[in-house]
Amino acid sequence: MYKNLSEAEDLRTELGAILDQDTVKWIHINTLILRNKADAEDAFQEAVSRMLERGPASLSREHIRQYLGRTVNNTAFGLYKDRKRERVRHRQIEEYMSLPSKTPSPDFTLDEQANFKKKEQQLRLLRQGLQSLPVKHYDALRLTILEARGATVREAESVSGTPESTLRYRSRQGLRMLRKYVEREMKREQEKSGKF
């Protein structure tokens, strides 16, 4: 801020001389930034008024020129960002949505192939794991999960003649054994292929 009236007058005098020399150049630069001459002139006027309100009082002409140049550029960039935000705010939601491509991308195809191979491996290991289970546990899993078709454990009890609590226990134990088998075999295959 200015300490006295003479400092303000000195700044105005220096600023007038600088504006006579550089106004065209700064408006041209602002026009390049804002892509509109009217906006460029508005930004330039705002920068000059800011300079007069809050500018440095006791600087040399070159310092005032640099300060004004920064103020002009900052004002132009600020206006540009404000206009861009305003444009984005008024865009329709459909403009943000991108429709999926009718042809799958190569990355999608590779991901699908990798997922398919992983599922295929898991199914193979599940079949092997089911075959490795003890007969009682396999039968409990078959009655309660694999071939249940919506039947309850009580209905499976009536079919097999095995008590309900025993069927529950054996199916839980069978699932634990199956999970351990699959995890162990997947880890072994990953170590073998070097993907661990």
How far is residue 25 CA from its own chain's centroid?
40
Q: What is the pLDDT of residue 2?
A: 46
**Which residues of the chain fall short of a pLDDT of 50?**
1-2, 93, 96-97, 196
Q: What is the pLDDT of residue 102?
A: 63
Q: What is the pLDDT of residue 166?
A: 92
Q: What is the pLDDT of residue 47?
A: 84
Q: What is the pLDDT of residue 1?
A: 45
Is the pTM above the cut of 0.75?
Answer: no
| Location of each CATH 1.10.10.10 domain in the chain | 106-193
Residue pLDDT, tens place only, 74-120: 888 888 888 777 766 555 545 544 555 566 666 767 778 888 888 88
Closest CA to 50 of 25, 22, 75, 81: 75
Give the CATH architecture of domain 106-193.
Orthogonal Bundle (1.10)
Residue with tokens 């162990």: 184
Residue 126: which residues within 8 A CB-CB, separation 6 or more?
178, 182
